[in-house]
Structure 1
Amino acid sequence: MIRFIKYDGRQPRLVTVPRWAIGLGLVAAFLVGLLVLTLAFGIALLAVPVLLVAGGIAAWIGRGRALGGKGNAARDVAPRTGPADDPFRPRPPGAREIIDVEYRVVDRDDQPR
């Protein structure tokens, strides 16, 4: 038997638990874990094919509409002037885009102006 101290309010009390009760609790915890794992696997068996079919349908419906295809609202609102304005098109070798910035180092001792 395993003994431990249980506090009921202010009075400590010595409680003994038989070994078979501890073993029964461990078996019950294992079976509950196995049940949760089985349920999660069953839900995954149902959800994964449904999500794959839904993703395939969404890809089939949306094909040709991305990156300047038919039905692109951004292209219809603001027409592009040329292929150089397309941010998704690779640039030719040697073409660079330079961003000029101005910066300064601020120390902790500097007072705000």
Structure 2
Amino acid sequence: MSGSKEEEKVPGRSTSLPMSRVKLIMKSSPDVSHINQDALFLTTKATELFVQHLAQYSFRKGCGGESNALGYSDLAKAAEESEPFHFLTDILPKKILARDYLRSLEERSEDSD
């Protein structure tokens, strides 16, 4: 067997995300010492469903028939404009040009002086 125990295929328990990666993320919390296999599977499956929902919502709201591609800006727009996804704004900030960022920094320093 080449995979770890949690990556073995169990009938009715297939996942798209690698459970070993989800487990690694879960174990990065200092409060977690042991992860039950059922909890790991359910967390992985819930994560998959959340990512799928975010992608579908972002595609519907962002693409408007322009293309069949989902881009970073579509995800960032969904995070900014939709209350359920608003917690993602720090992870998916809107992209801005460097010159615009530098201009905003200059304005802030002028305002504070």
**TM-score where L is the length of structure 1:** 0.26
Q: Greater RCO between the two (CA within 8 Å, min separation 6)?
A: 2
**Structure with greater strand percent:** 1
Which is higher, the Rg of structure 1 or of structure 2? 1
TM-score for both structures, normalised by structure 2: 0.26
